[in-house]
Amino acid sequence: MDIGQPKRIIEIEPVTLPVPGEVVPDADPAPHPDREPTPARPEQRVP
Amino acid sequence: MKPHGTTLDGLPTDVASEPIIAWRVWALTGRRDGSDLLLRPVARRARTWQPRQVVEASCRSSRWHEAPEPLCTCGLHGTHGIEVLRKTKGPAVLGRVALWGRVIEHQHGFRAQFAYPQRLRLICQFCFWTTGARREAPRHVGWFPRGEMMPICDEHLAVARRHDVFPRSLVTADEVAQRLRDIYAVDALAI
């Protein structure tokens, strides 16, 4: 099969992999939908 | 897509976050009852595509470069259109394939580092060669020694019979197509 001459290179890092059940290893975990946001600790609060 | 620069080969490079969806054909192997189906590149010595696993390219010509390499022919191939695939030897499955990682775009297709099928359809290779992909889906899948599965329409099955090239067993194409989609967890390709 002849696909002709190369034209360009594309570096593709998909946000989600197009493979059933696979996840991108470096992706941030999604927040749990039922979980309350964690309150900031007292020393982190802005006065 | 963001322009990124140029390589040592003078090819421009871009960066993207969505896989490219291209056309591709595969050969098909399995047992004579239509179980243990696996997609296989039409190049006979190439490795099978394992279900639910990312397929990663490697180069059989050189261990010294990663696939795909601009000056080689290695990588997982996909095409812009169907027509260029009609010259392929022994296609059994036509489909859409997702390509990502390092992808080299050519005039008529792509060579990629990673791939996985997205939509699949069985094709009668004789109909595909003569009239393209828009014919009716084949009704049978013939099984040949060494596990080669050949989807075939009624008309070409009759021709094969007349020439004594008859499969060792036949299974229903609809059943094989459904099983193949379940194994790879993909959708049917509608044309």
Complex ipTM value: 0.84
Q: Which residue has the higher pLDDT, A39 or B27?
A: B27
Reported in sequence order, the residue ranges of chain A that DSSP labels E, i.e. its strands, are 6-12
Residues 6+ apart with CB under 8 A from B184: A20, B39, B51, B52, B117, B120
CB proximity B158 to A under 8 Å:
no
CB contact under 8 A, A8 and B13: yes
| The pLDDT value given to residue B60 | 79
Q: Does the pLDDT at position B71 exceed 80?
A: yes
Query: What pLDDT digit, counting tens, does each position of B138-151 carry?
Result: 999 999 988 999 99
**Interface test with chain B among A2, A10, A11, A13, by most B beta carbons within 10 Å:** A10
Name the DSSP letter for residue B63.
S
Q: Does the pLDDT at position B43 exceed 70?
A: yes
The whole-model pTM stands at 0.84
CB contact under 8 A, B100 and A4: no
| The pLDDT value given to residue B135 | 77
| The pLDDT value given to residue B147 | 93
**Proportion of chain A above pLDDT 90, given as a percent:** 28
